[in-house]
Amino acid sequence: MSRDKLVMCAGCRSRFMESDGFRYRSKVWCGQQSCRLTIDNRRTAQNQKKKAKKKDRGIFYKGVPNRARHHVLRRDKGRCALCGVGGKNNIQVHHVRPVSDGGTDEYTNLISLCKHDHDRVHLNMNEYSYMLSRMAIRRENEL
């Protein structure tokens, strides 16, 4: 014999026996449409707060869009802009001016780098940023 326990609706906060309720988005609810909308609104607000916090910490950005990545790799002929090494699994697309500093996903702000050089550039951004920026602009204009 299972023991039925008292639970609270995540929407209207009314109490009822667990066997009389439903589950929606991992929440227990009483079955009223208005409660379902309340649960959705709370979840939306919670997700927006999470996104805002991530953006404030600089970790919201999801990377270079595929279209831009493919364009830059094709433009740079799949080779590192610094050392010329190629290889499908070795080449990464780098933002010359980081998104956290106001950089964009424009092609002139993106350049192909091998993993080794990408790590090296990130250690000394000030040293490489001007040179990489000029290189990306020149390559884009050559197309």
- d(CA 90, CA 33) in angstroms, rounded, equals 52
**Between 139 and 3, whose confidence is greater?**
139
Question: How many domains does the chain fold into?
Answer: 2
Q: Are residues 92 and 51 in the same domain?
A: no
Domain extent, residue 40, equals 6-57
Whether pLDDT at 62 is above 80: no
Q: Residue 1 domain-assigned?
A: no
- d(CA 26, CA 106) in angstroms, rounded, equals 40
- d(CA 39, CA 142) in angstroms, rounded, equals 54
Q: Residue 130 domain-assigned?
A: yes
Q: Are residues 93 and 131 in the same domain?
A: yes
Whether pLDDT at 60 is above 70: no
Give the dihedral of Cα atoms 30, 31, 35, 36; nearest 10 deg.
Answer: 130
**Between 129 and 72, whose confidence is greater?**
72
List of residues 6+ apart from 101 with CB closer than 8 A: none
Mind listing the pLDDT tens digit for each residue in 28-56?
Answer: 889 899 999 999 999 999 988 988 887 77
- Which pTM was predicted? 0.55
